[in-house]
Structure 1
């Protein structure tokens, strides 16, 4: 359950605002008007603070509630500009297109890939195979994870498949993320970028219906009729 202790607004109103911003192509000033039409007077700067503060909490809550995924993964990274520099959003989906995990990284190398795989394995279990592109860093990351699993006595070895054709699934899935961030004014810090992207990924998972009773279970307490919560 997401705790909003110390917030002076109703919990449902806060989560509604955060979900609306993450899911739809609106600015904070547009959202300020939308909330005002529903009887909630809140400044656009406050809305920004809500998104940065609560999106990571929502992502943690969502990971524990999403439906089980398949054991064949597709992994790739896409580019995100932060402070005028390109960063890397590592992402993984299963062969049905369901989102597995995501992680923003300042670098694209073996340690970053290994960290992402370890994070994905902790919340999704060990897959039979992972499909990647021609990236040597990603292949090295999988080899490192296999070594770690072997040290802990796990006989299961993750198979690495390099196929640009099979990886088209996740490359197409990047579009939802890129389409949403394209209309933003840009990220000013790594922290705000990582937090906002966490929330956008959860909104994408809700769109894919990866949660039972969505979006209530993913966001903690959003009612079935979202507009009703802030009228």
Structure 2
């Protein structure tokens, strides 16, 4: 993340905190699963600490992702669609 002062007061590096939050939200793992994954890499953090990180930084990460992806349009363009009816492939929209 660009703004590293939101991590002030934590003894863990920013990469560990952001990785734990990413694991929780991306793969829907439990806090105890993330605790075990971090422990396998030599990082000792309790599941309660990981829960606090996810509660605090999850919404911040979400807002940054929403802001960085830009405006979504409500118009979708479809190139080609084929539908198989009774074993015959026909382009969508033609009889």
What is the Cα deviation at residue 56 of structure 1? 1.3
Segments of structure 1 that go 5 or more residues without pairing to the other structure are 73-94, 97-231
Q: Which residue of 2 aligns with 1:12?
A: 15
Segments of structure 2 that go 5 or more residues without pairing to the other structure are 78-95
What is the Cα deviation at residue 43 of structure 1? 0.1
TM-score normalised according to structure 1 size = 0.30
Aligned mate of 1:42, from 42, 45, 53: 45
What is the Cα deviation at residue 25 of structure 1? 3.2
Who wins on radius of gyration, i.e. which is larger?
Answer: 2
Matched, 1:21 2:21: no
- Which structure's residues are more often strand, by fraction? 1
TM-score normalised according to structure 2 size = 0.68
Matched, 1:56 2:59: yes
Does the residue aligned with 1:64 lie in a helix, a strand or coil?
Answer: helix
Hey, what's the Cα distance between the residues in 1 that align with 2:32 and 2:64? 27
Does the residue aligned with 1:55 lie in a helix, a strand or coil?
Answer: helix
Hey, what's the Cα distance between the residues in 1 that align with 2:74 and 2:29? 36
What is the Cα deviation at residue 34 of structure 1? 0.1
RMSD over equivalenced CA pairs, Å: 1.8
Q: Which residue of 2 aligns with 1:214?
A: none
Hey, what's the Cα distance between the residues in 1 that align with 2:34 and 2:48? 11
Hey, what's the Cα distance between the residues in 2 that align with 1:66 and 1:5? 27
Structure 1 segments of 4 or more deviating over 3 A?
none
Q: Which has the higher contact order (CA 8 A, sep 6+)?
A: 1
Count matched residues: 74
